[in-house]
Amino acid sequence: METYDAVIIGAGNAGLTAGAALAQGGAKVVVLERHTIPGGCATSFCRGRFEFEVALHQLSGIGTPEKPGPLRMVLDQLGVMEHLTFMPMSDLYHVMIPGKLDILLEPDRARTTATLKHHFPDEAEGIDAFFDLVYRVFGEVIGAFYFKDPDVHRDKYPLYFQYGLKPLQAVLDDHFRDPLLKTALTPYWTYMGLPPSQLSFIDMAAMLFAYIEFLPFHLQGGSQALSTALADRIVQCGGRIRYNCPVARILVENGRVTGVATAEGETIRARQVVSNASKIATYVDMLAPDQVPAAVWGELKRTSISPSAFTLYLGLDQPPEALGISSSTNFILGHTDADMAYARMKDRDIDHRDGMMMTCYTLIDPTFSPPGTSQVALITLKFGDAWLQVPPAQYAAEKYRVADAMLQQAEQVFPGLRTHIEEMEIATPITHMRYLGTPRGAIYGFEKHIKDSPVFLPNQMHIEGLFLAGGWVGGNGFQPTLESGFKTGQAVLRRLEMHQ
């Protein structure tokens, strides 16, 4: 039987940074991953002459060497920065409602506000006030929490206490009149999965601040390059990764973790286990009901599962210019009603009421596709529930039907797109369920309602020795999950030292 200091379940972003932090800290660690490649969401696949990026559209938190973002510092400490080539993206985003709205924003505060004022001259004052608020609120958040002020109180951080629990919509309504302007400022709500009426203002402020100040980035080789580099770091530091090795059960004796059992029936001993699998899989599938403390059931019950996504990965036989694609990140929307778009996420179908994002990777870096071609992804959020109702025998036909509907929407903006498709892969919520193992194919963990922010739902240890890391126990997206694993790895290291 093998014995380790720590076992990590899953080689997603958080599992990999936790593993790298532990291996580098001298712990004897093994990462067990169901698939044959590291990354979870952060991966790629090949079709024909294309390598498709699965999940990463815009990486936050990198910043420049002169002004490093928090993620750059984590990756630096993990020793992978020097093996990767990060590229800043020149666009914040291009947001469109055909015939009504067409604005390209840059990751620069002055230029972004100027562009918005140019399009909405009557709202100039509100625009300045809104960005001022975003920056000041977020400045307070950084002071209070990132720098861990021991003495956080209302007088020192008035805006945080005022806005900490406010929905984004209320703040938008305070500042703006034109619904088009509100829409132009907030397409990033889809990065969190909740419309402005339900999303916390602080979460949007954090995204705008992070992407404008530290710029959106991508990297050569896509997110798979990052995953592979982290996995390599684990191995170089003496850790192990085992692929094709699903964990079936977490072993608990006398209320504390003692190891895991793989699906093949092998027992691996460790007194610290980090689960990068979903919180539901961890507590509901890998543990027996009587091993799970009542508090966990309470936590689970109060939350709801986030949407999954419907994605078309396209390899096109023309360069972006020839197809009329000029920006890397495009939000193609049908209207200004985000609540309707959110409601539509429960429906399998795609029509003019659904918004979508189109990323053209080749514009970020030409090595994303062979010379003379482009790699493009079209993505829209969809809950998994409606897809679970499709009978298996109809699944393939349904995939094509919805893909067709999505292409029709995209062709409103990029006519003739479909006549240039050389390779196409369709990912539905079922695809995400298959590759991530998440309930209903969720890609953002639990929904991040204000009531589920860390203020009300901290990531607590419920079983001695069992840590959870990743998108189900904190912020979602690349930066938060990579940081979550790193912090968890450090916490495990501290415990290991304590035990010695």
Partner 1 sequence: MKRDIAQQLEGYQDVLQLVQAAETLGEDFSSERGAVAAYLNRLHPARLSLRVSHIQMETPSTKTFRMVPVDGVLPPFQAGQYVALQVEVNGIRTNRPLSIASSPSQTGYYDLTVKRVPGGLVSNYLLDTIQVGDHLASSAPDGSFVYNPLLHGRRLVFIAGGSGITPFMSMIREVSDRGLDRHITLVYGNRSEDDIIYHDELTVMAARLANLTYVPVVEQPGPAYTGEKGFMTGALIEKAAGNLNGAMVYLCGPSGMYDFCLAELQARGVTARRIRREMFGPPVNVSRSPGWPAGIEEDDHFTVSIVDGPTISARAGTPLLNTFEEAGLAPPSQCRSGECSMCRVRVMKGRVFQPAGVPLRQSDHRLGYVHGCVSYPVEDLEILMEARR
Ligand X SMILES: Cc1cc2nc3c(=O)[nH]c(=O)nc-3n(C[C@H](O)[C@H](O)[C@H](O)COP(=O)(O)OP(=O)(O)OC[C@H]3O[C@@H](n4cnc5c(N)ncnc54)[C@H](O)[C@@H]3O)c2cc1C
41 touching ligand X, by CB under 6 A:
yes
DSSP string, 392-456: GGGHHHHHHHHHHHHHHHHHHHSTTGGGGEEEEEEE-HHHHHHHH--GGG-SSSB---GGGSTTT
Cα–Cα distance, 458 to 453 (Å, whole number): 8
Q: 258 or 318: whose CB is closer to ligand X?
A: 258
Judge contact between 402 and 309, C-beta under 8 A: no
243 touching partner 1, by CB under 8 A:
yes
Judge contact between 30 and 9, C-beta under 8 A: no
DSSP string, 129-160: HHHHHHHHHHHHHIIIIITT-S---TTTSHHH
Q: Which of residues 410-439 bind partner 1 (CB under 8 A)?
A: 418, 420-422, 424-425, 430, 433-434, 437-439
Q: Which does 458 bind (CB under 5 to 8 A by kind): partner 1, ligand X, none?
A: partner 1
- For 312, the enclosing helix (H) or strand (E) is strand 308-316
Q: Which does 471 bind (CB under 5 to 8 A by kind): partner 1, ligand X, none?
A: ligand X
75 touching ligand X, by CB under 6 A:
no
477 touching ligand X, by CB under 6 A:
yes
437 touching ligand X, by CB under 6 A:
yes
Rg, C-alpha atoms of the chain: 22
Bridge partners, residue 374, by sequence? 316
Report the residue from 167, 222, 470, 489 that binds ligand X according to the rule CB under 6 A. 470
Q: Which token pair is 500?
A: 């010695």
Q: Compute how many residues bind partner 1; rule: CB under 8 A.
A: 78
Residue, CB closest to ligand X: 12
The interface mask with partner 1, positions 272-311, x = CB under 8 A, is --------xx--xx---x-------xx-xxxxx-------
Cα–Cα distance, 27 to 273 (Å, whole number): 13
Cα–Cα distance, 266 to 252 (Å, whole number): 15
Q: Which amino acid is at 202?
A: I
36 touching partner 1, by CB under 8 A:
yes
Interface segment toward partner 1; rule CB under 8 A; list 54-62, 133-141, 146-154, 181-189: 146-154
End-to-end CA separation in angstroms for the chain: 22
Q: 9 or 270: whose CB is closer to ligand X?
A: 9
Q: 271 or 448: whose CB is closer to ligand X?
A: 448
CB 242, min distance to ligand X, A: 9
Q: Compute how many residues bind ligand X; rule: CB under 6 A.
A: 36
Report the residue from 4, 130, 138, 163 that binds partner 1 according to the rule CB under 8 A. 163
Which residues sit at the interface with ligand X, rule CB under 6 A? 9-15, 32-35, 40-42, 55-58, 246-247, 276-277, 281, 309, 311, 379, 432, 436-437, 443, 470-471, 476-478, 481
